[in-house]
């Protein structure tokens, strides 16, 4: 199977093709409930994650929500 390359928080990452955003987040070890995602320069609303298929050369900025006080 051919892998794809994408940029996550400025770093090149390799993953399987045809992953949804939710699957990619899980593949990266992130809890989808605790992150916000910018996808190719636009905030990607959570309700679109299940239908968004990651493509070669996509650019993502992923911010993890951290609790504390």
Examine residue 23 and state whether it is found in any structural domain, yes or no: yes
Classify residue 55: in a domain, yes or no: yes
In a domain, 69, yes or no: no
pTM for this entry? 0.89
Contacts of residue 62, defined as CB under 8 A and 6 or more positions apart, other chains included, come to 8, 9, 25, 28, 30, 35, 36, 37, 38
CATH number, domain with residue 44: 3.10.20.30
Average pLDDT along the chain: 94
Enter the tokens of residue 56: 């070669």
Q: What is the pLDDT of residues 16-39, one digit of tens each?
A: 999 999 999 999 999 999 999 999
Flag whether 19 is in a domain: yes
Does a structural domain hold residue 60?
Answer: yes
Number of domains in the chain: 1
Q: Is residue 26 domain-resident?
A: yes
Q: Residue 41 belongs to what domain range?
A: 4-64
């Amino acid at each position: 199977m051919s892998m794809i390359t994408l940029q996550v928080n400025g770093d090149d990452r390799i993953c399987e093709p045809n992953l949804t955003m939710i699957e990619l987040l899980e593949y990266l070890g992130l809890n989808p409930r605790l992150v916000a995602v910018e996808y190719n320069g636009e905030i990607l609303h959570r309700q679109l994650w299940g239908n968004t298929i990651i493509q070669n050369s996509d650019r993502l900025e992923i911010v993890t929500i951290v609790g504390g006080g």
